Every structure is written in C-alpha cells, then in structure tokens.
Structure 1
Amino acid sequence: MASTAKSTDIRIVRSEALKPKPDPEHLGFGKYFTDHMLLVDYTEEKGWHDARIVPYGPFSLDPSAMVFHYGQTVFEGMKAFKTEDGRILLFRPDRNAARFNISCERLNIPAFDEAFFVESIRTLVEVEKAWVPDAEGSSLYIRPFVIATEAGLGVRPANRYLFSVILSPSGAYYSGGLAPVHIRVEDAYVRSVRGGTGFAKTAGNYAASLKAQVIAKQDHCDQVLWLDGIEQRYIEEVGSMNVFFKVGDEVITPELNGSILDGITRRSVIDLLRSWGIAVTERKISIEELAEAHKNGKLTEAFGTGTAAVISPVGRLSWKQEDMRIGDGTIGELSHRLYDAITGIQTGKVADTFGWNLQV
C-alpha cells in the first residue's frame, strides 16, 4: 500500500442483516463481534491489495495453509473509546502500527504501510461506530492480525497473506473495582529468550505461556510472573503484560532486551511518570533483589500494564517458599493515579497534552 492511501481506497460492502446489539451490562471480553471486518490480501505479484470492509464471517482456508503448520501470524490489540460528548477516540494507533511491522519483520511477513494501517482501522471503526459502547469502563476492542494463507507444506516464508481487523465491544475489565491480583513467580518454564520472538506479538508466544498459566490457577494465583530464559533470575513480564515495581522513591520496570514486548501502555506509563517528576528506571531487576526490597519494606507497589487492563495492581507475589504481600490489599496510590490518568485521556475526560488520541 502506498503511504498516500486514503479511506476511498477501501471498498465497503455493507451487511444486509445487522446483528442485535448485546446487553451493554454483560459484554465481557472478546465474546461479541461487530457486523463488519476489514480484509486486505497480499501476493508477491501485487503486494498488499484489495482492501475491503465486508460482513463479518468465517474465512475459507486450505487445510495446508501455512499459518496452521508454521505459525506465521502477528496481531495487535487496540481500543476505541466513546467520550461523554459522543466523539470516538483511538489511543496511540500509530504506535500499534509501528509495533505491528516490528513483529512482521521478525516473522518474515511483508511490512504493511503504517499510515494505511491507522487509516483502515479508523475507517472500519467509523463504519461500526454504533457498536462503540459508552458505559463506564467499556470500549470497542480492536484486533488487527495477519496470517499466512499460502497452501502447501515446506518450512519457508509464505508468499500469500491475509490482513484482517475484527472488532469486539467489551465491558469494564474490573467489574468489581481495581482489586490487586495474586502472582506466581514461574521458575520452571520460560516464555522467551533474547534472539527469539518474545518482543513480537505472535501467537506462539501466547501458546508457550498457557501451561504455566494453568499451573498458576491450580495454585490459586491469578497470573504468572516470568523470569528470563537464560538464568531464570531476572524479571521480564507478568502474564501478557509489562510489569512495574515501586521501590522506595523509584519506579523500576525491566528494560527491553529482545524478549520483552514494547507495550504501548508501558510507554505511556513511563511518559506520565517522567512528566510528573517521578523517577522511573528501565533496567534488569532480579527476583532476589525484589524479595530483598520486600523484606526491607521498600517494595510498596507493583502493577502490570497492558491494553486490556490498563493497570493491573499486584497484591501478592509467591516465589518458592516466599509469600510477598504488597501494600494493604488495595490498589496503591500511584497505580490508581496512573489508571485514572490513562483512562481519563483515552475517554476524553483528561486533557491529552501528549497528543496520543486520534479522533475517528
């Protein structure tokens, strides 16, 4: 796609049978999907072409489609929000576009024009604007993804791909309030190593995390805290989110090292903290250092960051025989301030001094 592509380059085929809207009080997450989806094809001869918005429905793929066998797929997660005055805002879509291409490069998938990535999503959301919920904490979740569709077996990059965007109205992530979660430190399985695909949003990373997640649930924990894949000492991510720790007057988050996702919310938290004059450091931090900080009473807050939850406060960390309780069982002051600031900007309730939002 040329960078000059505009919404007029997208063919729109409207559904003749619109779905009834789900109950806004019981949306959950990822259970309902809108009337339309975006599709764009890729071939070696034409590049990315035939952008179209069509009625939501199943794909027809050959059983030998290479995505099934060799895992060439990348996705993103984004949200659209409705403001009190009826505007619809996208939060930092340019960053999702850039990260999408970083993931594609690692999976050897052809790059997608970033300006058109944003414009195509903006157009689809505009078509489906009636689906953007306006209840407190709700949003329209946006899932762009690409899959290898070439039919045939043989371990090599495919020469045919399909880019798609689907939309799902989603309810408040915290239906019962911002309650801290209980995290199990995983010291047997690893999620990724430097040089692998940990920094990319690709399906295999998430498949590799499922076993440890099941074990955590069996131990009555909500999530997994991943350690590095070499020494299994240094903290990387919590579940499918980036993670932050408030130790004394400093906020620490693991540095990007090739196996950690460059989260959009992570970047936003760092920018906010620095704008508030709060010391934030991106560096290696070991589980032993964290345990020592807890023992000395310096670890006062911990939280995960991601598109779905925004801020997920951590109340307990279980590691070997240690049970580290953080705070007083409620969300910490800084975690709450960050949550209010980011969700406020996303929904237009707080001034967007960073220029993060794009109006649909």
Structure 2
Amino acid sequence: MNQPTPTPAPVSLPFETAHVPPAERLDAAARDERMRSPGFGRVLTEHMVTIRWTEGTGWHDARVSPYRGLEIDPATVGVHYGQIVFEGLKAYSLADGEVGIFRPDAAARRLQRSAARLAMPEMPTELFTDALVELVRADRDWVPSEVGKSLYLRPVLMATEADLDLRPAREYLFLLIAFVTDNFFPGELRPRTVWICEDYVRAAPGGTGEAKTPGNYAASLLAQEQARDRGCDQVVWLDAVERRWVEEMGGMNLFFAVGPEDSPRLLTPPLGGTILPGMTRDSLITIARDLGYPTSEEPVSVAEWRGWAGDGSLREVFACGTAAVVTPVGTVRSASGDWAVNGGRPGPIATRLRTALLDIQHGLVPDRHGWVLPVG
C-alpha cells in the first residue's frame, strides 16, 4: 500500500489566534443556560482549531478561530474514500480552580495509530497537545464546574485533497472542536438493557476495528436500531469468526466482575485488532488494580456470560468509554433468551470505579499516574 511521503515536521507550531470579538460572545447568563442540561454533542463552544498537512511541507498553518462551517470541494478524498479518523477526550474543572485535560498523550498515540492504519500522516504528540491546550484556553469559560460534567474535545483528521484517484491523499486538515457534556447516557448509573447481535459484526480480523474511524460507527447504526427495536439501549458485538466471543458494547469496552462476593475478579476482552483500545478501559484496569481487584484481559463467551448469571457467580457487568464514563449492564436480551445481571441493579464495583476515575479527572485526589495535563 502506498503511504503518504514522510515529511520532516516540527513537533510544535506557532498558532495564529483570532478570538470571537467580545461583543459577539455569549454573555455569562446565556452560556450558563445553554450549559445547564447539555446532553451530548449539542452545546458546542465558540472556537475551533485547524492545522493543515501537505505533502512536501508537512504540518503548517495552525490556527485558533471562531467556530464556523467548512467549505470543501465536492471531490474531496475524505468524502469519497473515507480517509477520516477522529478522537475523543475531555477537559475537566479541577479542585484547585484550574482546568485539566485527561490523558492527552494517550489520545495522541491512538490518533497516530488510527491515522497509520488509514495511510494518513501522523500528528506529533506535542503538536496535538498544543492544539488541545489552545482550544481549552480560548473556551475556558465553557468548562463546567460540576463534578461529572466536562468539556468534550473532538479532534478530527480528514483528507481534503480534491482528486478521485484511488490512493492516499496528499493534503489533510486537522480539526478540533469542543462541546459541553454531562453524560452520554441520561441517568448515569441506571443499568442498561443490551441486545446480543448475531446478524452483524462491528469489525473483522485484519480490518479497521482498532482504528477510530467513522466507517466503523456508520456500520454499527443498523445493529443499534435493531437493538432499539427490541427495547434495548445498546448492542453488544460478537467476534466476526465464531459469533461466540464478546467484544464491545456499542462503541464502549466491557468489564465482567466474576467470583465470590467478597473477592471478585474483573475480566475485560483482550485487544486483538478488532476492539477499540479505549483510554477509559486502560485507566480502569489500572484503577481497579490500585483498589485491589484482580484484573485481567481474557476472552469471555456469550455462553460463559449466561452461565455465570445462572449460577450466581456473575457480580456485575459494566461498559466504559470517554463519553459514557462507566455504565452498568442490568439486562441482556438475545435471540436465544434473556437474563439479568445483579438483579438488574447497579453494583458497588462499577460505582466505586466511576467515583475513583472522576476523582482523578477533577483533581479531587492525587494524580499518581500523571494522567491529567493542567492548562494554565
């Protein structure tokens, strides 16, 4: 496969900044009203960041500007051939009054891996982090002060060359926008009902399952509608080969708490190229071990899930992700029957892990792992 021609690129760039004029910015009262019940992805902030990449030049033209629409050529490669990847991470208000971005280096590395899989240029970690910091500073007033709310940062890298020859593009746009959010699921720790999908798969070995690319999400929508038609909140994906092994829930990673009530162990399906390597998943593995829960990455089959629920050894099941944080699973539905998890109630492990994660993200406890980048 042809790759974009490597171009030496600086790890950092000067940003040209043009803020929204003070007279045109929302006043505090209007902004607070919009932030009161933001939902997910609806309350966008007032600025954006753009950086361009061109073959032979590399990364250049870094800008902070007022939020605006994009004008693209009808023959843009990203539109026709799907050379687009994106990320998701959050900025939080900290206990000391500052703002912190959670694990920007991990998001940068995942964006680099996604870009490499789609034959796109990889953005240097420092440049990626600089872009995040610039946008958070520009829209500092949009970072919610309440624990559990956050400013969601959405970086996107897309091919912008207008040339329909089937090859990697030679021009790309990095775009960064932000929106205020409380939780992907309303009701936070209310246990969800899920549908085991056996008709469709999210990803196959050798495909793009571990890349954060829009095509994976578009391919999931039909199965998600199938789940909703059956009264479920989310779909659970199985492996593409045997349709036996549990992989993900929607766009989230899954954890299973199994064993005696006083000493359960946590299991999460292993990464193998078809599962998105979630940053929240990785964080919870570390936090769970810090809290004394034996935690391992092991395959979990649907039969095991049902069996553990039947014999009483299954304590909890919960999903996790940047948007959803931690979300319990209470009921499972499938073509071969239904079963409950923990009597359909939220469990203490999911609750404890969610609290521990939010405490780190909001600076309420020491950041032992260096996950939070303070923004001055």
Give the TM interval when normalised to the shorter protein: over 0.9
The one of 325, 338, 352 equivalent to 2:353 is 338
Asked whether 1:2 is paired with 2:10, we answer: yes
Q: CA deviation at 1:317?
A: 1.0
1:150-173 deviations in Å (ceiling 9; x for gaps)? 112122111111001001111344
Normalising by structure 2, we get a TM-score of: 0.92
- Which residue among 264, 267, 285 is the counterpart of 1:252? 267
Match of 1:15 among 16, 20, 31: 20
Give the aligned partner of residue 64 of structure 1: 75
Q: Indicate the SS of the match to 1:11.
A: strand
What residue in structure 1 maps to residue 64 of structure 2? 53
Whole-Å Cα distance in 2 between the matches of residues 174 and 186 of structure 1? 20
Query: Which AA in structure 2 matches 1:127?
Result: A
Tell me the alpha carbon deviations over residues 209-241 of structure 1, each in whole angstroms, 9 at most, x when there is no partner: 000000100100000010001111111100110
- Which residue identity is paired with 2:349? L
**What is the match of residue 108 of structure 1?**
119
Once the two structures are TM-superposed, the CA of residue 178 in structure 1 deviates from its matched residue by 1.2
Instruction: Calculate the aligned-residue CA RMSD, in Å.
Output: 1.3
Distance 2:335 2:223 in 1: 15
| 8 A Cα contact 2:183 2:323, kept in partner | no
TM-score, reference length from structure 1: 0.96
Question: How far apart are 1:321 and its partner, in Å?
Answer: 2.7
Deviation of residue 258 (structure 1)?
Answer: 0.4
Q: What per-residue deviation string (whole Å, max 9, x for no partner) do you get for residues 280-318 of structure 1?
A: 111222111211111211111000010011101000111
Matched, 1:37 2:48: yes
The answer to whether 1:122 aligns with 2:133 is yes
Segment drifting more, 273-282 vs 187-196: 273-282
> Which residue in 1 is equivalent to 2:5?
none
Whether the 8 Å contact between 1:136 and 1:172 is mirrored in structure 2 is no
1:283 matched residue in structure 2: 298
Question: Aligned pair 1:356/2:371, yes or no?
Answer: yes
Query: What are the Cα deviations for residues 19-59 of structure 1, in whole angstroms up to 9, with x where unaligned?
Result: 45243322111112111100001110211111110111011
For 1:48 and 1:65, the matched residues in 2 are separated by 19
Aligned match for 2:100, one of 62, 66, 89:
89
User: Which sections of structure 1, spanning at least 5 residues, go unmatched?
Assistant: none
Secondary structure at 1:130's aligned position in 2? Answer: helix
The amino acid across from 2:170 in the alignment is N
Paired residues in the alignment total: 357
Pair 1:238 & 2:249 matched: yes
Cα deviation code 1:224-261 (max 9, x no counterpart): 01000111111110011000111112211110010001
Tell me if the contact between 1:24 and 1:171 (Cα under 8 Å) persists in the aligned partners: no
Partners of 1:143 and 1:167 within 8 A in 2: yes
Cα separation, 1, equivalents of 2:229 and 2:134: 43
Report the counterpart of residue 28 of structure 1 in structure 2. Answer: 39
CA contact (8 A) 1:183 1:222 kept: yes
Q: Name the counterpart of 1:227.
A: 238
Q: Note if contact 1:34-1:167 (Cα within 8 Å) is conserved in structure 2.
A: yes
- More moved, 177-186 vs 289-298: 289-298
Contiguous gaps of at least 5 residues in structure 2: 1-8
Q: CA deviation at 1:276?
A: 2.2
**Given that residues 148 and 183 in structure 2 are in contact (C-alpha distance below 8 angstroms), is that contact kept between their aligned partners in structure 1?**
yes
- Specify the SS of the correspondent of 1:292: helix
274-283 vs 38-47, greater mean Cα deviation: 274-283
194-203 or 293-302, which deviates more: 293-302
Distance 1:259 1:175 in 2: 28
Residue equivalent to 1:165: 176
Closer/same/farther in 2, CA of residues 177 and 311 from structure 1, 3 Å limit: closer
Determine the structure 2 residue equivalent to 1:267.
282
Give the corresponding residue for 1:179.
190
Fraction of identical pairs, as percent: 41
State the SS of the aligned residue for 1:26: coil
Distance of 1:41 and 1:24 partners within structure 2: 31
Correspondences of 1:181-220 after superposition (within 5 Å): 181-220=192-231
Counterpart AA for 2:123? F
Task: Tell me if structure 2 keeps the 8 A contact 1:76–1:144.
Answer: yes
